[in-house]
Structure 1
């Protein structure tokens, strides 16, 4: 994979495979809706069969959007919600998804569906193409990748020989600092639903802390704050005593203010 020629060839091959993949997914989605219309309505559980085909068509649309993700907000959404389909991962999960879609569509041809030959051929072609191009995506994902450098097949498809590693994922969590705090608050709310003790200890999200303990000796000292010389005159606070002052002394008792000679 260190050969620039091999990576350049991978750029051409993977871009051509990308076009074929998008066309196949669109055809597979259309085939699902054809099967929904022509499903046997006289069976009691046909509605579940319709829902299954509907979800397969939605999955086809999601894979097609992941391959046509040219806008930045779509890339950011895929990195957060569907990281295996984003540009930070290879094409293997896309290929496995297409194989599942192809198997599902081909399996529906087992039913006795009343369709014209043209529609039946379209459904058959959609299933075969989904299976083939899904397998090719898996194979190409393992061929054009470099695990030591962290380079995936999507990186080579986008940049060719200039592909670089994208091991850093800054778009997964833009608020990285606030997410741990948010998760901690969420856990405390969940815990408070099961333990009443947490509800009693926390009031409006703040812990209920008891007031500081004041001993009887401290209360007696406060009560004896009157001046011993003049009854009724409150003694100044101890914090205002010159002994507790950080500033330099304002008076000099042991030094005479005169010359030594």
Structure 2
């Protein structure tokens, strides 16, 4: 796979296979809805058969979106939610999904469905094409890949001989790290929910939380003892800020008493 010519040929082959894959998936989705319309309604469990075909058509739509993921937000969504269908992985899971779709569609032809020959031919062609191109996607995924460098078939399909591993980009996040962070957030929410519930139960049961006793400052108590009057024990001294010496330093409007000094001119 180190040959630029081989990688350039892989670009052409994989792009052609991409177009054929999208057409096959669209045809398979249409075939599923044709089978839903023509399913035998007189059977007791026909509803489950319709749901099966509906889920297969949803799978076809998902695979089409993964093949036509040109927008950046679609690529980021696939990397987070469907990593095996993103540009960080090869085409093997896509081929496996197409094989499952083809087997399901061809299996429905085993029933005695009353529909036109043209519709029956369309359903048959959709099933056969899904099997063929699903197998080709798996084969090409193993041919055009380089596991030593981490290059997949999607990388070669996008860049050809200039292909690089998509895991080198900064927006790639390993699944283990993202899952561990997600589990940690879920665990913290779970614990906080029960913690709040316990607090509410204690409040409703009449058992409020009692805070710890305040810190007693013995140094402050000693200072209060020193502020007692030396003449009459137990009598508190007035606050030092109210002493006439300190009141003179303030403005005249802030004096505690107007008779603290003689109200007369010094001259």
The 1:5/1:172 distance shift into structure 2, 3 A limit, reads: closer
**Residue of structure 2 equivalent to 1:226:** 227
Aligned alpha-carbon RMSD (Å)? 3.2
Of the structure 1 ranges 75-84 and 179-188, higher mean CA displacement relative to structure 2 is found in 179-188
Contact 2:106 2:127 in 1 (8 A): yes
1:62 partnered with 2:62: yes
1:6 partnered with 2:11: no
Contact 1:151 1:165 in 2 (8 A): yes
**Residue of structure 2 equivalent to 1:35:** 35
The 1:31/1:180 distance shift into structure 2, 3 A limit, reads: closer
**Residue of structure 2 equivalent to 1:97:** 97
Q: CA deviation at 1:78?
A: 1.5
1:77-109 Cα deviation digits (max 9, x unpaired) = 222222211111111111111111011111111
Partner Cα distance (1:127, 1:181) in 2: 42
Q: CA deviation at 1:66?
A: 1.0
TM norm structure 2 = 0.74
The 1:134/1:182 distance shift into structure 2, 3 A limit, reads: closer
In structure 1, runs of 5+ residues without a counterpart are 174-178, 237-261
Q: How many residues align?
A: 227
Contact 1:226 1:234 in 2 (8 A): no
Q: CA deviation at 1:132?
A: 1.0
1:84 partnered with 2:84: yes
Partner Cα distance (1:33, 1:195) in 2: 51
Partner Cα distance (1:165, 1:172) in 2: 11
Partner Cα distance (2:238, 2:185) in 1: 53
The 1:172/1:160 distance shift into structure 2, 3 A limit, reads: closer
Partner Cα distance (2:226, 2:142) in 1: 86
- Which is higher, the Rg of structure 1 or of structure 2? 2
In structure 2, runs of 5+ residues without a counterpart are 174-178, 204-208, 242-267
The 1:200/1:5 distance shift into structure 2, 3 A limit, reads: same
TM norm structure 1 = 0.75
**Residue of structure 2 equivalent to 1:258:** none
Partner Cα distance (2:129, 2:42) in 1: 31
**Residue of structure 1 equivalent to 2:118:** 118
- Structure with more helix by fraction: 2
1:182-230 Cα deviation digits (max 9, x unpaired) = 86554333124446786469x9xxxx99557524745633643627779
1:13-33 Cα deviation digits (max 9, x unpaired) = 100100100000010001001
Q: CA deviation at 1:118?
A: 1.6
Of the structure 1 ranges 222-231 and 28-37, higher mean CA displacement relative to structure 2 is found in 222-231
